[in-house]
Amino acid sequence: MRSSFAAEFAEIATTGAAAVDIPGYQIEPGSPVRHTFPATVLQPGWVVVVFGGGIIPSEDIAELKRRGVAEIFTPGARTDDIIAWVRDHVDDPAQAAGPGAA
């Protein structure tokens, strides 16, 4: 999704029975590169959302979390806190894929 007024995101889902190895894959909605995946293997049924830009209205956060968004970092969030959260949760398939994932 690309918008000059709102947030942008890309969703990658593995719908087949095999894991998908995506190290070095890049999200390039134009130039420059917006995101390069590190050593990453998506297991069957996993969904990864790369989100950037825009500001999520505070009144929408509860509903997004109810729908399975694991965490939302608002303006002013410390990069160290975001990195710590990702390190604590990315290895857990239930957190990475969200509720209801295969």
pLDDT in tens, 27-57: 776 666 667 887 788 889 888 877 766 677 8
What residue numbers bound the domain in which 33 lies?
A: 8-97
Residue 3 lies in a domain: no
* Average pLDDT of the chain, as a whole number: 75
Phi and psi, residue 11, nearest 5°: -120, 130
**pTM flag (> 0.75):** no
CA distances from 66 to 7, 47, 62, 98, 99 (A): 19, 17, 6, 11, 10
Average pLDDT over residues 2-18: 72
Residue 1 lies in a domain: no
Q: Would you say 42 and 96 are in contact if contact means Cβ atoms under 8 Å apart?
A: no
Q: Would you say 29 and 44 are in contact if contact means Cβ atoms under 8 Å apart?
A: no
What is the number of structural domains in the chain?
1
Per cent of the chain over pLDDT 70 is 72
Average pLDDT over residues 85-102: 58
Residue 102 lies in a domain: no
Lookup: tokens for 1 = 């999704």
User: What is the spatial distance between Cα 64 and Cα 72, in angstroms, rounded to a whole number?
Assistant: 9
Residue 74 lies in a domain: yes
Which of 10-24, 27-41, 68-82 comes out lowest in average pLDDT? 27-41
pLDDT band at 18 (very low <50, low <70, confident <90, very high): very high
